[in-house]
Amino acid sequence: MSQKQKVKEATCEIEVAFEVIGGKWKPLILWYLGEYGTLRFAQIQHLIPDITHRILTKQLRELEEHGLIRRKVYPEVPVKVEYSLTEKGKEVLPILDMMCDWADKYDYFGYKIKYNLCNEELCNLQEE
């Protein structure tokens, strides 16, 4: 850690975990990368059509900063960028599976599910 970075504080380990993988979009991004292996930006945006370009960029940067995803840039024109899970990111997948099962067990607590990842058949993504 550089001297300029401020040390972050958290109440407990659970708060840290939710900060790193929590929120509306990060679990979906991690899930899809776990299911598909490697995805380009446009493919992720296709899978999560409600996310804005700006927010997807921010979420991907944060996941990369925490070491959960890898960003690979190919020196082509136009530039080709691919995202994939790191080993640390792959460790999150069983947690997401358990959360899926828990929500399903309690009938989603009355929520209408928009992205049913637990039971969703994956679409065939074509190169965009």
pLDDT digits (tens, 9 = 90+) for 21-73: 999 999 999 999 999 999 999 999 999 999 999 999 999 999 999 999 999 99
pTM: 0.86
Q: What confidence category does residue 128 fall into, taking pLDDT thresholds of 50, 70 and 90?
A: very low
- Write the CATH number of the domain with boundaries 13-105: 1.10.10.10
Q: Alpha-carbon distance 74 to 64, whole Å?
A: 17
Nearest to 68 by CA among 91, 36, 45: 91
Contact between 64 and 81 under an 8 Å Cβ cutoff? The reply is no
